[in-house]
Amino acid sequence: MDRYFVACDAGGTMTDVIVVDEQGRSVIGKAPTSPADESVGYMESLEEALEYMGIDPKREGRSFGEKLETSIYTGTSMLNTVINMSGVKTGLLTTRGFEDINAQGRGSQTFIGAQWTEITHMQYRKHRIPLVPRKQARGVTERIDMFGTPVIPMYEDDVRQGVRELLCDEECDAIAIVFLHSYVNPQHELRAGEIAREVMAEVGRTVPVELSCEVAPTAREVSRANATIVQAYASNTAREQLFRIEKELQGIGYPHSLKTVLGYGGITNIRYPRLFEAAMSGPVGGLMGAKYLSTVIGEDNIVCSDVGGTSFDAGAITAGVLPIDREPGFQDMYVNVPMLGITSIGAGTGTYIRLDPATNRIKLGPDSAGGVPGPTFIEAGNTIPTINDANLLLGILNEDNYLGGKVKVNKQVSYDLFKEKIADPLEMDVYEAAETCLEVLNVMMREHLVRSLMVGHDLREYVLLGYGGAGPLHLLGYAGDYPWKAIVTVPHAGAFSAWGGACMDYSYRRHKSVATMITPDLSPEMKVGYLAPLNMAWEALEDELYNELGSEGFKREQITMTRIVYMKYLGQLDDIEVVSPVDTITSPADVDALISEYEDQYTKMFTLVAKPDPAYASYQVTEVCVLAKVDTVKPKLRRHELASKTPASDAYKGKRPVFQQGRWHDADIWRMEDLVPGNEVDGLAVIEASNTTLFVPPQFHVRIDEHDIYWITRKDA
């Protein structure tokens, strides 16, 4: 019996579903994202994918569902809950004197994701509305110092009174408990949790209670508080969306539980208690797919760039290591939850194009038309020009092939609105103005890559990978003239993040702060002693993970544990992730092996940076981590026989005028589905698929390798 695998990526604009069969063949379905009920967009895109696979969703849907082995969903439900402030009413119990911890936050939170021009002007900065207003916070007299020693005992009556007031007076539906330094010694938080449950039994109300020592047992109290509060505030609301999708799948015979993706790149059941770790699951699939792709093409350094309708998401895999951000920015808050290091700006095909009323200059976004109402040419209510309107006007997009030809396009609407609102006020030709807008967008994305993400790295050592529905469309525009080692994309770029979700293992990771260092004046035996806390932390985290995965039904022999440290040269601001070459540190040789691994990793990541002489260097360990992994069945990039360099005649669709560099040119139009490994295409060309478009400017050449990967080079290289 055939078996199938389904993965989904619900972005801000489109929901992509990829269906993979046992032979590794895959098809992609797309539909507008439906934030109010994400199951709608999910089922619509799944049905489209089934149609492409030759399966009638109406007659054969149940037969397909019964053969469905795994379904993975990454989406925006928790993100939407925080954006819309629609989570449950949450109370905070914290160390007395820190009741304003959520409302006050940190100064740097006021410019998360801002451009430099905004950071340097105070009028652009603002604190977000706190998820827990001050009146829903209660203080408890207690204090544990930074070494884990209780210096003020916890006043249990304060806890009882605070919980009672939050439940009865404030009518809170969830409680977050955050005490100082609980990541070192959690005894006060654990006891407070017990008391909270006792009070709930007394008053006859049961609500979720989240402890920071369980949600985020790491340093940085504001970020730890934010993470715990969001877990209490938004996770149950998001879980309801996921249950709704699972119910729809069960309606077509799916016999298993729905899975979701954690922010650091792992699959878990939607009943996972720390669901907040899945809050930023959407862009994660792209990096995980790129990690798998790197093993196929033999490249350890890959810059991942995802262009959608709403945002431009980017991350860099360096020396084969996925970037982990342990304190990412999330909706204008820093949170202590590990996530893949992905930076985003508001730049996509749905980005609004306006003129600044003060300067009469082009201003892009940062807001977007999204999937609904979408660009002006689909006539769904939007009257503000978007980037995709410009792409259509310039001939880059095919008006008969938008979303596979399923959506009717009115090009005249785009022309009229663009002329009225952009071109005429600028006293420019419509097409020259549209091309200028595209170049502004490409510059924004290019600068985000080179001036932000890749500072300190040598671009000549990195492959630039473009994906997302609009990634191939803009890839060569934002690649610019920079000396990338190579530029690549894939024919399934439109659902690459969903495909990447299918490449992940079932995995959890746990972090714990430690504070130790080794200096050159220490004897070898003292260095071993100074690193002893790593062993204890690793063992505690491993026990926790074995128990958690055991409760999911996995046996110990199925679980692979990886021990990780975060190290830096003493005095530096940022540490790096290092996979420990030894299981425990019990001898000077183990210490030397760890330092050697750190030195090697540091050198690979920062090739242009000077570093201290190891004989005189001091090292600081700030955190440890254990990664627990269970292997899953994954799709494979199959190897194909190479065909002729010249594509088959069926792949050629003819010519179409495309506006480039101030004038019209005839571009060759190719059907992507009919191009095969071995084929090569010269620019100027447009390669069209039902879910994406690859635009090839005149100076570029495309070669398709044996894995169906598109390698793009300059003709004069």
Summarize pLDDT for 145-202 with one digit per residue, the tens.
988 899 999 999 999 999 999 999 999 999 999 999 999 999 999 999 999 999 999 9
Q: Tell me, what DSSP letter sits at residue 402?
A: G
Residues facing 351 on adjacent strands: 368
Residues 6+ apart with CB under 8 A from 333: 105, 109, 112, 128, 223, 226, 230
pLDDT average, residue stretch 375-404:
90
CATH 3.30.420.40 for the 4-81+238-278 domain, yes or no = yes
pLDDT average, residue stretch 3-25:
78
Q: Which two structure tokens, joined as six digits, stand for 284?
A: 């994660």
Residues facing 5 on adjacent strands: 20, 70
pLDDT average, residue stretch 337-362:
87
Residues facing 71 on adjacent strands: 6
CA distance 351 to 372: 12
How do 463-467 and 486-489 pair as beta strands?
A: parallel
CA distance 132 to 44: 36
Alpha helices in 382-531 (DSSP H): 387-393, 411-418, 424-426, 430-447, 471-479, 496-501, 524-530
What's the pLDDT at 633?
A: 67
What DSSP assignment string belongs to 530-568? HTHHHHHHHHHHHHHHHHHHHHTT--GGG-EEEEEEEEE
Tell me the one-letter amino acid at 313.
D
CA distance 61 to 54: 11
**Token match 């993965």: residue?**
7
How far apart, in Å, are the Cα atoms of 651 and each of 9, 682, 688? Answer: 29, 14, 10
Task: Dump pLDDT digits (tens) for 73-117.
Answer: 887 677 777 877 888 999 999 999 999 998 888 888 888 767 666
Q: Which two structure tokens, joined as six digits, stand for 287?
A: 């990096």
Phi, psi of 570 (to 5 degrees): -55, 125
Asked if 302 and 290 touch (Cβ cutoff 8 Å), the reply is yes
What's the pLDDT at 337?
A: 82
How far apart, in Å, are the Cα atoms of 509 and each of 274, 318, 324, 471, 576? Answer: 11, 20, 11, 30, 16
At 205, the pLDDT band (50, 70, 90 cuts) reads very high
Which of 75-89, 355-369, 643-657 shows the highest mean pLDDT?
A: 643-657
Using the predicted structure, report yes or no on whether residue 1 has a pLDDT greater than 60.
no
What's the pLDDT at 116?
A: 66
At 121, the pLDDT band (50, 70, 90 cuts) reads confident
Using the predicted structure, report yes or no on whether residue 688 has a pLDDT greater than 80.
yes
pLDDT average, residue stretch 626-648:
86
What's the pLDDT at 152?
A: 97
> What percent of the chain has a predicted confidence (pLDDT) above 90?
50
CA distance 286 to 304: 7
End-to-end CA gap in the chain: 50
What's the pLDDT at 433?
A: 95
Average model confidence (pLDDT) across the chain = 88
Asked if 270 and 8 touch (Cβ cutoff 8 Å), the reply is no
Residue spans in the chain of domains classed CATH 3.30.420.40:
4-81+238-278
Residues 6+ apart with CB under 8 A from 594: 531, 565, 567, 578, 580, 581, 582, 585
Using the predicted structure, report yes or no on whether residue 345 has a pLDDT greater than 70.
yes
Asked if 78 and 238 touch (Cβ cutoff 8 Å), the reply is yes
- Strand ordering across the sheet containing 693-696: 652-660, 663-671, 685-688, 693-696
Using the predicted structure, report yes or no on whether residue 656 has a pLDDT greater than 60.
yes
Cis peptide bond upstream of 68, omega within 30: no
CA distance 420 to 282: 36
26-30, 303-307, 524-528, 615-619: least confidently modelled range:
26-30
Residues facing 628 on adjacent strands: 508, 561
Q: Which two structure tokens, joined as six digits, stand for 176?
A: 């977050």
CA distance 500 to 9: 9
pLDDT average, residue stretch 550-566:
90
Using the predicted structure, report yes or no on whether residue 122 has a pLDDT greater than 90.
no
Task: Dump pLDDT digits (tens) for 55-70.
Answer: 888 888 888 888 887 8
What's the pLDDT at 24?
A: 66
CA distance 476 to 486: 11
What's the pLDDT at 95?
A: 97
What's the pLDDT at 499?
A: 80
Nearest to 498 by CA among 22, 29, 23, 25: 29
Tell me the one-letter amino acid at 267.
I
CA distance 586 to 670: 62
pLDDT average, residue stretch 517-546:
93
Cis peptide bond upstream of 366, omega within 30: yes
Nearest to 712 by CA among 475, 478, 496: 475
Neighbours of 609 (CB within 10 A): 10
Phi, psi of 211 (to 5 degrees): -105, 135
The upper half-sphere exposure of residue 440, i.e. CA atoms within 13 Å in the direction of its Cβ, equals 22
Q: Which two structure tokens, joined as six digits, stand for 590?
A: 């183990």
Using the predicted structure, report yes or no on whether residue 282 has a pLDDT greater than 70.
no
Nearest to 685 by CA among 476, 486, 389: 476
Asked if 160 and 140 touch (Cβ cutoff 8 Å), the reply is no
What's the pLDDT at 115?
A: 65
What's the pLDDT at 504?
A: 81
Nearest to 410 by CA among 444, 438, 382: 382
What's the pLDDT at 12?
A: 67
What's the pLDDT at 562?
A: 95
Asked if 437 and 353 touch (Cβ cutoff 8 Å), the reply is yes
What's the pLDDT at 683?
A: 83
151-160, 506-515, 555-564: least confidently modelled range:
506-515
Alpha carbon 129 to chain centroid, angstroms: 24
Task: Dump pLDDT digits (tens) for 238-267.
Answer: 888 889 999 999 999 988 888 888 888 878
What's the pLDDT at 578?
A: 93
At 262, is the secondary structure helix, strand, or coil?
strand
| Number of residues written out for the chain | 717
- Percent helix, strand, coil in the chain (nearest 5)? 35, 25, 40
Burial class (CB in 10 A: 0-12, 13-18, 19+), 370: buried
At 367, is the secondary structure helix, strand, or coil?
strand
Asked if 304 and 314 touch (Cβ cutoff 8 Å), the reply is yes
Phi, psi of 206 (to 5 degrees): -115, 120
pTM of the model: 0.79
At 175, is the secondary structure helix, strand, or coil?
strand
Task: Dump pLDDT digits (tens) for 610-630.
Answer: 778 777 889 999 999 999 998
